[in-house]
Amino acid sequence: ALGLGCAKILSKNKQLIVASQGFSMAGLNDSCTDLEVLLKRYYLSVAYGIIFVVGLVGNITSIGIYLAKLRPWKSSSIIMVNLALTDLLYVLTMPFLVYYYSNGESWMLGDFMCRFVRFAFHFHLYGSILSLSCVAVFRFLVVIQPLRVVEVQQKVWGIVACLVVWIVSAAEVTPMLTFISLTHKDNMTFCIDFASIESVGSIREYNWLLTVFGFALPSMLVFVCYIGIVKRLTSGSSPTTSCRMRARRVIVLILVVFAMCYLPYHILRVLWVEIQTNSTTKCMKYVVNAAYIISRPLAGLNTFFNLALYTLSGDNFRK
């Protein structure tokens, strides 16, 4: 009888422990879910709202200055206008995302607008990366081959570079339209982010290809170009002139954009897709998802740095 009583007590204790663990895990999952909801409703809506206001005013002003004041046009000017147009396309989609996330992720604008808004974000992202890569290549050629400055600055090369940027960016991002669509759940319609779709396993290979060819390879090109520029400026006869100092500021600014805006987003997007396709704890998924959510507006902050880039690109723009 004593043994039976002890067995019953042990059994009840185990049940209590299991129940307490269940309650604690449920509470943890609820808190993680609440964090995700708060980040989307308040962080994303506020961040996208700020990007819209600053980006709209800044890019319209920049485009107006380039069109009205800067003559004659050079290849670098054309690339900068193209970058500003890409940024403007991006910020014009921000009000839709602000309303979407502030309204509890309830999408009411149909399938076409959902695809367009998600497409515009990534088209801007990779268009900006390629545009900054073109800037790096052109500056590298000017510094390394100073005798070819006139040839490099011809308008035709700027037009060719912009066409390449638009064609390559569209080729990289267009397959995404086959993955993005509206999702219906609990009488609500969701416009899900590309890396968070239900069939996330189907985008795993594409996500890696997009990360490598859209970000990693252009980043390597940019770093190689600017390392060469820094070496040439350091070994030059007058490295303290205003032109050289401005070139160094441009280099630092672009490298900051890649390190602060583009790198965290791509690392966390790859990690988020990989975690969803592999068995892992729910808490780990919540943590990575929260970090990925935080990184998304950071990728859009390059519009702010681009505004500073226009100012550093030449004295005529500042005047």
Q: What does pTM read for this prediction?
A: 0.82
- What is the average pLDDT across 71-76? 77
What's the confidence (pLDDT) of residue 263? 93
Average pLDDT over residues 253-271: 89
DSSP 250-288: HHHHHHHIIIIIIHHHHHHHHHHHHHHHS---HHHHHHH
| Residue-level pLDDT at 29 | 52
- The better pLDDT of the pair 315, 189 is held by 189
Alpha-carbon dihedral 100, 269, 171, 175, rounded to 10 degrees:
-70
Which pLDDT band, with edges at 50, 70 and 90, does 155 fall under? confident
The pLDDT tens digits for 177-234 are 988 888 888 888 899 888 888 777 788 899 999 999 999 999 999 989 888 887 887 7
Per domain, the residue ranges of the chain are: 27-318
pLDDT value at position 195? Answer: 86
pLDDT-derived band at 164 (thresholds 50, 70, 90) equals very high
**pLDDT confidence of residue 257:** 84
Query: What architecture is the 27-318 domain classified under in CATH?
Result: Up-down Bundle (1.20)
Q: What would the pLDDT profile of 267-305 be if each residue is shown by its tens digit?
A: 999 999 998 888 667 778 888 999 999 999 998 888 888
Which pLDDT score, from 0 to 100, does residue 243 have?
A: 60
- For residue 197, what pLDDT is reported? 81
pLDDT grade for 236, boundaries at 50, 70 and 90: low
Question: Does the bond joining 264 to the residue before it have cis omega, within 30 degrees of 0?
Answer: no
Q: 56 near 88, Cβ under 8 Å?
A: yes
Residues 6+ apart with CB under 8 A from 288: 268, 271, 272, 275
Sorting pLDDT into bands at 50, 70 and 90, what band is 317?
A: very low
CB < 8 Å & 24+ apart, contacts of 171-176: 172/122, 172/126, 172/210, 172/213, 172/214, 173/119, 173/122, 173/123, 173/126, 173/210, 174/119, 175/206, 176/118, 176/119, 176/122, 176/206
Three-state DSSP class for residue 188: strand
Range in 53-57, 61-65, 101-105 with the lowest mean pLDDT = 61-65
First to last CA, the chain: 96
pLDDT for res 141: 86
Rounded CA separation 223/192 (Å):
34
Span 86-115, mean pLDDT?
Answer: 91
Q: What angle do CA 77, 48, 257 make, to 5 degrees?
A: 45
Average pLDDT over residues 2-7: 47
H or E element: which one contains 183? strand 182-185
DSSP state of 184: E
Instruction: Please give the average per-residue pLDDT across 233-259, as a whole number.
Output: 71
Number of other CB atoms surrounding residue 80 within 10 Å: 24
State the average pLDDT for the chain.
Answer: 81
Q: Write the pLDDT tens digit of every residue in 5-61.
A: 444 444 554 454 444 444 444 444 555 567 788 888 899 999 999 999 999 998 898
